[in-house]
Structure 1
């Protein structure tokens, strides 16, 4: 039984390594709950699948975390332009999932997986003015 678990675990990890890239633009933003969430999720992804690629622009604020995740810096722009142009161009020929953990993603890229935070206003509109 232990051999089966080990084999399954290794297979899952190997599969994860080539399945997706991660938009790490959150490393260029001040730390709020959304960025903290993204950092902790990425730390776990890195443990499970060390070869997953984390992508960010040049203006990283959280350099120690970028080093920990072995972030690959791409493009020349920053902010939204980086995400919509540089990141899109880098990913456009890959046809691999791009995991976006902080509400936004390259609009033209077809293989986005996006985590949307704070949807309470949709489900409980009477609680918000």
Structure 2
């Protein structure tokens, strides 16, 4: 089994796709006007409009209601990304400025336009780098 993607449901796919394009530096592939994918090296981030939820059944997903999952991106230098995203005005809801965590990752936590938690992290200890290699 291979983890392939995570899908985020939103009322405004254009806004959310644009946000993640800017965060990741990756252009989206729009499959319809209500569904796009950002093909990243390790996984695909799919973003769908609320209308696409009807295909799964009523109430299957509710936009802008996540408070349990964190979208995490491994980056080369979290402090450089913090500066870049700040300069672009993308960090409007920072939860935690770059901080070295007890498990050896330096992390920046912020919310996307729909309120989902995003973590950009860089392994900074030898053990953390070993865990994130491969």
What TM bracket, shorter-length normalisation?
A: under 0.3
- Structure with the largest fraction of strand: 2
- Structure with the largest fraction of helix: 1
TM-score by length of 1: 0.26
